[in-house]
Amino acid sequence: AEHQHARYNPLRDDWVLVSAHRVKRPWQGQLEKPPPEDVPRWDPNNPLCPGATRANGEVNPQYEGTFVFPNDFPALQPDAPEPDDSDHPLFRAAPARGVCKVMCFHPWSDLTLPLMSLTEIRAVIDAWAELATELGASYPWVQIFENKGAMMGCSNPHPHCQVWASSFLPNEARLEDQTQRQHLSQHGVPMLLEYAEQEAHRKERLVVENTDWLVVVPYWATWPYQTLLLPRRHVCRLQDLSDSERDSLASIMQRLLIKYDNLFEVSFPYSMGWHGEWRGSTVLSFASPPLPAAHAVPVPVAGAPTGPYLEEDCKHWQLHAHYYPPLLRSATVRKFMVGYEMLAQAQRDLTPEQAAERLRSLPEVHYKQRDK
């Protein structure tokens, strides 16, 4: 806890430098503005609100639960043209096709996930699973992610997430696929299933747990209060969860996010996302071996294997969610990934055990609801 050391991240096959003594240094750097507390419940000018008009002229329905619609400014489109053939292996391009969707969690703009009811959070989980099933039928990778707070690049305070489905395997997914596949081959057990069992036993990085799930600050955490949400049984995809597991997932998400908000008594910013089994080992990623000059990059296969083959390919994967919050010392002091982090390797200013203990000790009643 007092001396610098490096920790290995088996999920990414890299290292993080832990320098816990640095958190004691005085801070004279940038201070962030806390998120606004006066977000209106409904704003006709907010394009995510029920009945509002979006940038493309479409009018949202008067939705009362979750609401999914195509992203008006998608990063991926299904009909993108083929890039030109490469004449040299150092100048390569590959096809990138897909679809991007936006999902509103709730019709109220001032109600974030930790303030929603368990029934409302469960509806979000069900909608995630439906989208994963729908888009996973055509695309090998479906990335569900939420950027919460302006500090994490969110341009709209209305509670929502995004879902991008791609014809290729993205870098982070490809790396996790390789490390988990290797671990199963060498040790005979899925990496994150074994890791969850170890953390449940050790408890020093445990934040919250229930019958089906646990949340830990991972041993290799990079962000100050980074957490990893893990199921206790071997499960590959969101849509594979049982009804009871979805209910307990809603509960543990609520408990974690209340603790996050209570840490600095602010609507806690983060980026989070689900990682689950990808559909089809025949799909090419951008990391294929260098091609001879004057050869084009093959087109990734959008269709995915199904049935027994898909189940076989799933064995090394374990469903999990990453939470990456940037706040370090207070609601106004964030962790910057610059300098050494960009040019050498990740570095953190407090140990994962210290972060877990602080989160674990926080109450599970939201600070805005204590008086109630």
User: pLDDT of 8-62, one tens digit each?
Assistant: 999 999 999 999 876 665 655 666 777 777 889 999 999 999 999 999 999 999 9
Q: Residues annotated in the binding site for Fe cation, as ranges?
A: 176, 275, 320, 322
The answer on pLDDT for 101 being more than 70 is yes
Query: What would the pLDDT profile of 124-163 be if each residue is shown by its tens digit?
Result: 999 999 999 999 999 999 999 999 988 888 889 999 999 9
The candidate with the shortest Cα–Cα distance to 196, out of 16, 278, 319, is 319
Residue 29: the pLDDT is 62
Q: What is the DSSP string of 64-126?
A: SS-EEEE-SS-S--TTPPPPPPPSSTTS------EEEEEEES-S-TT--GGGS-HHHHHHHHH
Among 79-88, 124-133, 331-340, 362-371, name the one with the lowest average pLDDT.
331-340
Annotated active-site residue 160? The verdict is yes
pLDDT tens string 240-277: 999 999 999 999 999 999 999 999 999 999 999 999 98
How does pLDDT run across 48-67, given as a tens digit for each residue? 999 999 999 999 999 999 99
pLDDT, average across residues 357-363: 97
- Paired strand residues for 322: 228, 273
pLDDT tens-digit series, residues 321-343: 999 999 988 887 888 888 999 99
What is the mean pLDDT of the segment spanning 162-171? Answer: 96
- Which residue(s) pair with 227 in the sheet? 323
How would you class 361 by CB atoms within 10 Å of its CB: exposed for 0-12, middle for 13-18, buried for 19 or more?
A: exposed
Residues making up the binding site: 22-25, 55, 71-72, 147, 153-155, 162, 176, 275, 320, 322, 335-336, 340-341, 347
Higher pLDDT, 109 or 299: 109
pLDDT at 335: 85
- C-alpha–C-alpha distance, residues 355 and 23, integer Å: 12
Q: Which residues are annotated as a binding site for UDP-alpha-D-glucose?
A: 22-25, 55, 71-72, 147, 153-155, 162, 335-336, 340-341, 347
Strand ranges across the sheet with 14-18: 5-9, 14-18, 346-348
- Average pLDDT over the chain, rounded to an integer: 88
Query: pLDDT band at 301, cuts 50/70/90?
Result: very low
Determine which one of 106, 160, 316, 366 is catalytic. Answer: 160
In the prediction, which pLDDT does 151 show? 81
Model confidence at 281: pLDDT above 90: no
The predicted pLDDT at position 31 comes to 64
Reading the block at residue 33, the tokens are 């503005």
Span 76-83, mean pLDDT?
93
Question: Any long-range contacts for 283-286 (C-beta under 8 Å, 24+ apart)?
Answer: 283/140, 283/167, 283/168, 283/169, 284/94, 284/168, 284/169, 285/168, 285/169, 285/170, 285/171, 285/174, 286/94, 286/168, 286/171
Task: Report the candidate in 360, 109, 124 with the shortest Cα–Cα distance to residue 251.
Answer: 124
Q: What is the pLDDT of residue 280?
A: 54
Residue type at 48 in one-letter notation: L
**pTM score, whole prediction:** 0.90
Structure confidence at residue 152 (pLDDT): 83
Q: How far is CA 176 from CA 136, 223, 325, in A?
A: 18, 18, 21
Mean pLDDT of 205-218: 98
User: Is the predicted pLDDT of residue 354 greater than 70, yes or no?
Assistant: yes
